[in-house]
Chain A
Amino acid sequence: MKCVLVATEGAEVLFYWMDKEFEESLRLKFGQSECEGAGQLPTLEDQLSTLLAPVIISSMTMLEKLSDTYTCFSTENGNYLYVLHLFGECLFIAINGDRTEGEGDLRQKLCVLKYLFEVHFGLVTVDGQIIRKELRPPDLEQRVQVWEHFQSLLWTYSHLREQEQCFAVEAVERLIHPQLCKLCIEALERHVIQAINTSPKRAGEEALHAFLLVHSKLLAFYSSHSASSLRPADLLALILLVQDLYPSESTAEDNDTQETDSFSPAEEYFTPAPSPGEQSSGSTVWLEEGTPPTDASQVQVAEDTLQTLVPHSPGPSSPRRIFLDTSVKENYCPMVPHTMYCLPLWPGINMVVLTKGPNTPLALVLYQLLDGFSLLEKKLKEGQEVGSTLRSHPLMGDLRQRMDKFVKSRGGQELQSTWLEFKTKAFSRSEPGSSWELLQACRRVKRQLCTIYRLSFLAAAPGRGGPHLPQHLQDRVQTLMQEKLTDWKDFLLVKSRRNVTMVSYLEDFPGLVHFIYVDRTTGQMVAPSLSSSERTSSELGKGPLATFVRTKVWALIRLARRYLQKGYTTLLFREGDFYCSYFLWFENEMGYKLQIIDVPVLSDDAAPVGMLGGDYYRKLLRYYSKGHPAEAVRCHELLALHLSVIPVDVLVQQAGELARRLGEASHVPLL
């Protein structure tokens, strides 16, 4: 019984996602009759909006009248849990009616969804009006495609969070094999990045990053010299996208109807394009089977025809527009447009290439302007700066200069007139506009800028016919990489399942059952494999024991997060027959342990601790670094599960020794 809804202040549905049970409950509520016929999807949407409109409207009323709004509802015995989160002008609601998710889980889901919107739409998310157009295209068919895409992503995310340790702790898991890693890095450098960037036919695209994934684990990563580093959160989001495109074994296993080759590249099977009438059934099938429909419902056709056929939702292997954070020459710039090429090598092994187009500088300029106007809007809202104070504000001078320059170079009548209007209101000495008028003018300018951003990066996205690497170039790097790795293929697939084994630790750490070690600076984690899937067995075997340990580990992660959110960096608890411990600490580059400080205590409705939604750890590192300006600070976490017969002092000693050993190993450069 799960549901996610994104709605505007007026209760217009911008997006929804629900599982079969929830859909069934709606059906029961509204009666069978309404659900019949072709218009099922709109009906579901309308049903949701009808049901939740009172809550949405009340939530806006409270915000207006009390400057406070709902964040959480729960019904008797916690049977139903509702989590609400307001992002800008959009209200996100997550519902759970089967007690499988807590408040933190639901809030995390909402934050991840919002982050996925940002990855797909970039700065367009800044403006409520324009994002509305993207999320809810007037054309019904397009809307279905957009929603199905995000529904599929949410599904994949929920699944990975339950199955994969890396998504549970939100860090990238590496495949530990230094030799192979080195080989791959060389191949990525020479045969991928350099091959692309030296090709005359690359259509202005510049390859920045390339990496190899085996299932959801990172095998090797290479960035070109000119590229800024990729944020771990972005990397994890990309892994999520790849997993969504090519679900790996563990994901597919849940699905009884699919065969082993379900994760093979989509070329291998063909499903007719859904006709409008069938779309609804397509979505039902997906909900039933727990498999994302994206790859199944898309026609695998040549690139050019695809774009004319389904302009909004590119096929799996076609390039995608995504927006990632960069820092160019000390200049931080979020949501810079990139193009992502996901090239499947074999089932379960994928290569991803990220390129940037020639118009990247425009994104930087637009970001700076939007940032300036957003700041201004905030000040105007607070009612601080009016008239002369505003004019003399240093921010204003700078903003004006930049904007003048931008308008001059860009042209565009509408932009020009909007900017002129704003200038008259803001700078005219004779008749300065009121604060409210200024606010409106400021919003209009912002909207204009967003529109330009949207036109430049979304309308001309590679999936919609924008510039991208020619197919043969993609094919070439794909083949090259396949050749390089062909001998390793089977090894890699096994290795990814049994990456790190607990066996190597048992002797030195008797009583230790499991651990997860995370380097929060690089956003990477190491943990013994913990697979409870049917096909592959871990050391714990398959079945009940593995599942039991797994639930313990997941519970530890949840509790550790909860206590970290409330400012506790060390947690030790005994539950049943286990001791669970959690430690967070800071080190400098040399591995010297730095003194712990009081970390911020966050409210229950704050973005949860994690990386995908809100990037807590990056903020934490920044917070800590304020007190250590001179040195580079690293942040580590260790989660350990011991048998409770182990005395606490032995346990702590073991944890320390384990952390030391893992720390040394992680200093070996793998990238």
Chain B
Amino acid sequence: MAASDSTETKSASWWSYFFLYDGSKVKGEGDPTRAGICYFYPSQTLLDQQELLCGQIAGVVHCISDISGSPLTFVRLRKLKFAIKVDGDYLWVLGCAVELPDGSCKQLLDQLIGVFTFYNGPVSLAYESGSREELSAGWDTFIEQILSNTSDLHRIFNSLWNLDRTKVEPLLLLKAALILQTCQRSRHVLAGCILYKGLIVSTQLPPSLTAKVLFHPAAPRDQGPPPGGDALQEGGAALPPDVQIRPVFVTEEEAVSLYEFPGEPVTSTPASAARLQEPSAQHPPKGWSTPAPKENNPGHTEAMAWGLATTPEPTTPNTVWPDGSGENGHWCGRDWESVGPAKPRHSARGRGPGLGRALVKEPGLSWGKEELDLSEIHIPEAQETETSSGYSAFPHVRAPEGAGPGCEESGSDSGSPEPKSPKAPPVGTAIGGLLPPSAPEMLMQNGAQEWLGHLSGDSSQAPVPGEDHLLARTSGPLPACCSDSGQTGTELPVGGQGEEQRDDGGPESCPGPGPKCDSGSADPPGDDLSADRTDSRSAPASSVGLVRMNLYTHCVKGLVLSLLAEEPLLGDDAAIEEVYHGSLASLNGLEVHLQETLPQDQAAPAPPGRAYSFTHYDRIQNVLTANLPQVATAQDRRFLQAVSLMHSDFAQLPTLYEVTVRNASTAVYACCNPVQETYFQQLAPVARGSGFPSPQDSAFGLPGKARQKLLKHGVNLL
């Protein structure tokens, strides 16, 4: 159910408190608790009360974690529950009403932290470099946005706000997807999503990233994005109107998924082909790769979520080359035929693995079609292995050769030498140390590689020196972005060092400290430094690395195009121009069409004749389809209560498939499988039975009814 963009803030009785507490500020006996309060919502809470909550909860967290040996994550009181996250000295706490399921409360907190980190970097550094006031203002807007847009159901599932696709012309969704694909072809751009009035129209991002982009502070420039962003913008070259580029921080996991299936959900013939052939070879990353089964099932395109709106079409050609490997000519031919879908694949691939232009200094060259064609010709062999094994081949190639120069060669030979070594141990790269094995590791290496590529000669991207300075200032501390702030002590010096290094290194090093900040932060290939880093990182296992990227946003009235790009984008005016001009016309068109098609009042109550309520939750894409009205009736509240209970049980009991519950007033049926959950309630007044087991009890007929009625909503329970 699409949340409305209505400005009225709904009563937020479910959201009681949210605060961020810095325990390091309150160490001594005399330190007032208030010194540690970084942010407290609602801000009008009496200071005594704030101190009480912060102090007591911090104390209990300490005590329980001490006894248990694992961090306290959840506290329930009689009338209140708190989700808690300990991050070094920092304590994130979200207080909700008891009616909200425990799991949802925890998820929401994770989401809040995720969004904050996305825009501001690790909390310790954000609060060190930014002012509390500014960050608090950011929080206020953000929380306001969540409160005004979160419906009862969204609260339970923590789902994304998506456009009700039944109300939109499918062609428009296709068009949106195509815009994204086109953008993907541009240099540095990895993937993106399109929002309309705060609702997702189309996305290529994994749900966790879409959520972060979705919570983007709505108004562009003037609304004051966090300091880092401001600085960048002001310092950078003049951006096209309505465009904003800000640095963002993506978790390693997310970064991996961005690189792993470049542009995949939307496009990709070869990827899909590969998948069809050898599904097992893919390790579907959590989340968004699962559309695969759906794609294979063209009959149910209706059931697909927005992101996939365009998939069926490209899927068809896939079948043409079931084993596309080696058939270069054919491959390319295809590509030319279906320009949209196929190309991005290449560009993405080229970029993702870092083999591409950036490395071989192609960026300087024009992006002509011949160019593309050329690269295509020798790449296809690597296609299959590329998609599954990622860029792993890369370090291999690189390792023996050391830095820069080798890249060129790899650019052409790419995966072919040893494509089957996804888990090749990191050779010669200093970064591997603390990283989780496999994918992230690959990314790291790759990132480093790419960065090296930049370093080694991509001076064409070098921005104006002034910007360099700014960059160094604002993002100086950030490179040490392993978020575990307990580690900051060790991290910071390294970051500092890096900064110095960068200053020394002159302009070339600054624009692209690499997509990942831990490697890229300032880790020039110098051996000594790298060694340093390895040491500092091997310490805490809990530290989660963050990867720096750029978020490009372009607003066209209600429509927002958000693209995640590798960092050099900001300095690369040509690339920005290209993205901008490549999408402007289509965006304008899409905006007009959406405005015309979409019902003005999304909040319109459900049709009075509604005979049933349902909710369909896509576990993979984290979106909901439902037919509940904005204002819940008594029967709807009963439905919601049952849904929250059953949703919690589905989460806890993996072998639970179907549940029917019944009380005197209502009966609700629910079923789930690994990718979706569906809830169904009949609204016709139920004849009151005795509760004695009787086949006449309508509750037991619900599964059949649900199957039948939900088909027309694109939900197939058969």
Contacts and interface: CB of A to CB of B under 8 A. Distances in A.
The reply to whether chain A is a binding partner of chain B is yes
Interface of A: 29, 51-52, 54-55, 58, 61-62, 65-66, 68-77, 79-80, 82, 95, 97, 555, 559, 562-563, 566-576, 581, 583-586, 593-599, 601, 603-605, 638, 648-649, 652-653, 655-656, 659
Q: Considering the complex of A and B, which 10 residue pairs feature the smallest CB-CB distances, nearest first?
A: A570-B662, A593-B690, A655-B693, A585-B691, A596-B691, A80-B68, A72-B76, A656-B693, A54-B63, A573-B659
A51 B69 CA distance: 13
A656 B694 contact: yes
Contact of A568 (B98, B663, B689): B663
A54 B691 contact: no
B661 A70 contact: no
30 contacts: A58-B63, A68-B78, A68-B79, A70-B77, A71-B77, A73-B64, A73-B75, A75-B64, A75-B68, A79-B68, A79-B70, A562-B645, A568-B642, A570-B660, A570-B699, A572-B661, A573-B659, A574-B656, A574-B657, A574-B659, A575-B653, A575-B655, A575-B656, A584-B691, A596-B664, A596-B688, A598-B664, A598-B665, A648-B700, A649-B700
Interface stretch (B52-60, B182-190, B211-219): B52-60
Given A65-B52, A638-B693, A569 B663 contact: yes
B575 interface: no
Contacts of A71: 76-78
B537 to A, nearest CB: 22
A557 B245 CA distance: 56
A599 B70 CA distance: 38
B690 A55 contact: no
Contacts of A653: 693, 695
Contacts of B641: 566, 601
B659 A598 contact: no
B660 A571 contact: yes
B78 A69 contact: yes
From B649, B653, B692, name the one whose CB has the most chain A CB atoms within 10 angstroms: B692
Contacts of B80: 68
B697 interface: yes
A581 B665 CA distance: 19
Contacts of B62: 54
Contacts of A576: 655
Contacts of A596: 663-664, 688-691
Contacts of A594: 690
B225 to A, nearest CB: 32
Contacts of A649: 695, 700
B661 A568 contact: yes
B692 A656 contact: yes
Given A574-B657, A583-B692, A70 B664 contact: no
From B74, B75, B658, B693, name the one whose CB has the most chain A CB atoms within 10 angstroms: B693
Contacts of B79: 68
B690 A595 contact: yes
Contacts of B703: 648
B659 to A, nearest CB: 4
Interface residues of B, number: 53
Nearest to B74: A74
A569 B665 CA distance: 11
B276 interface: no
Nearest to A68: B77
Contact of B70 (A76, A568, A598): A76
A594 B59 CA distance: 52
Contacts of B691: 569-570, 583-586, 593, 596
From B62, B67, B79, B665, name the one whose CB has the most chain A CB atoms within 10 angstroms: B67
B538 to A, nearest CB: 22
Given A575-B657, A652-B695, A61 B64 contact: no
Given A584-B691, A652-B695, A51 B645 contact: no
Contacts, number: 176
Contact of B65 (A75, A572, A584, A598): A75
Given A51-B66, A62-B56, A583 B693 contact: yes
A586 B60 contact: no
B73 interface: yes
A563 B70 contact: no
Contacts of A581: 693
A594 B692 CA distance: 9
A74 B74 CA distance: 5
B60 A652 contact: no
A559 B649 contact: yes
A656 B697 CA distance: 11
From A563, A573, A584, A653, name the one whose CB has the most chain B CB atoms within 10 angstroms: A573
Contact of A586 (B657, B690, B694, B697): B690
Contacts of B661: 563, 568, 570-572
Contact of A603 (B56, B98, B662, B697): B98
A281 to B, nearest CB: 26
Contact of B692 (A52, A72, A585, A603): A585
Given A82-B64, A570-B661, A648-B703, A54 B59 contact: yes
A593 B694 CA distance: 11
Contact of A97 (B56, B68, B71): B68
Contacts of B76: 70-73, 604-605
B168 interface: no
Interface in B616-672: 641-642, 645, 649, 653, 655-665, 667
Contact of B695 (A571, A603, A638, A656): A656
Contacts of A65: 52
A555 B649 CA distance: 12
From A29, A51, A77, A570, name the one whose CB has the most chain B CB atoms within 10 angstroms: A570
A659 B77 contact: no
B239 interface: no
A146 B661 CA distance: 45
Contact of A55 (B63, B74, B645, B689): B63
Contacts of A574: 656-659
A274 to B, nearest CB: 30
Contacts of A79: 68, 70
B660 A572 contact: yes
A271 to B, nearest CB: 35
A648 B667 CA distance: 15
Given A61-B56, A74-B72, A604-B98, 19 more contacts: A58-B63, A62-B56, A68-B77, A68-B79, A74-B102, A80-B64, A566-B641, A570-B660, A572-B660, A583-B692, A586-B691, A593-B692, A595-B664, A596-B689, A596-B690, A603-B78, A603-B98, A652-B694, A655-B693
Contacts of A73: 60, 64, 72, 74-76
B60 A80 contact: no
A603 to B, nearest CB: 7
Contacts of A51: 63, 66-67
Nearest to A72: B76
B70 A77 contact: yes
A649 B704 CA distance: 11
Contacts of A585: 690-692
A656 B693 CA distance: 5
Contacts of B63: 51-52, 54-55, 58
Nearest to A653: B695
B78 A605 contact: yes
Contacts of A604: 76, 98
From A562, A574, A581, name the one whose CB has the most chain B CB atoms within 10 angstroms: A574
A69 B662 CA distance: 32
A193 B337 CA distance: 99
Contacts of B642: 568
Contacts of A68: 77-80
B660 A573 contact: yes
A25 B641 CA distance: 40
Interface string B36-57: 0000000000000000100010
Nearest to B81: A72
B662 A568 contact: yes
Contacts of B70: 75-77, 79-80
A328 to B, nearest CB: 34
